[in-house]
């Protein structure tokens, strides 16, 4: 019985490497998204803390600085939200590529499984044919022995 050789094995390995690379890029994008989300959350906390402070009985210059700081934080929050939106879009695109790579690899694995089943069936048929031939020759040999 010979060994099964899938003719598209190199293509399957390539598709597996493409899928693995896509999986890695998705993981990197998820990491960047999580990090930028933490930064945005921290900016929101800082912005909220700036309102907790009591503005009564303080100098006008302090109030002006505090308002400028809030304005600066607002702009930073908007920029961070834009960055986060960009990363979300990138993450979505990378997930789509990962799904596509997974589907391509999956199709080839199904083809390999079908080829292997076909190979097993062919091997069984060869073995059955050999057994039938052996049985037929044995029968004919014994039949001739009885006739003599």
Q: Where are the domains of the chain?
A: 9-117
CA distance 48 to 66: 12
CA distance 42 to 84: 14
Q: Which two tokens stand for residue 81?
A: 């939200």
Among 9, 2, 19, which residue's Cα sits nearest to residue 97? Answer: 19
8 Å CB contact between 112 and 8: yes
Taking the model in full, what pTM does it have?
Answer: 0.71
Q: Is residue 49 pLDDT above 90, yes or no?
A: no
8 Å CB contact between 58 and 67: no
Q: Is residue 140 pLDDT above 90, yes or no?
A: no
Tell me which of 60 and 124 has the higher pLDDT.
Answer: 124
Rounded to a whole number of angstroms, the CA Rg of the chain reads 35
Which CATH code is given to the segment(s) 9-117?
1.10.287
Coil, helix or strand for 3? coil
CA distance 139 to 78: 90
């Amino acid at each position: 019985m010979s060994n099964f050789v899938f003719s598209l094995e190199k293509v399957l390995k390539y598709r597996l490497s493409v899928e693995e690379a896509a999986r890695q890029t998705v993981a990197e994008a998820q990491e960047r998204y999580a990090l930028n989300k933490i930064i945005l959350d921290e900016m929101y906390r800082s912005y909220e803390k700036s309102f907790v402070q009591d503005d009564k009985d303080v100098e006008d210059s302090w109030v002006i600085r505090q308002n400028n700081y809030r304005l600066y934080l607002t702009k930073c929050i908007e920029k961070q939200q834009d960055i986060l939106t960009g990363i979300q879009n990138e993450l979505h695109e990378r997930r789509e590529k990962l799904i596509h790579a997974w589907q391509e690899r999956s199709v080839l694995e199904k083809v390999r499984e079908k080829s292997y089943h076909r190979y097993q069936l062919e091997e069984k048929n060869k073995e059955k044919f050999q057994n039938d031939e052996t049985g037929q020759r044995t029968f004919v040999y014994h039949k001739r022995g009885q006739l003599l």
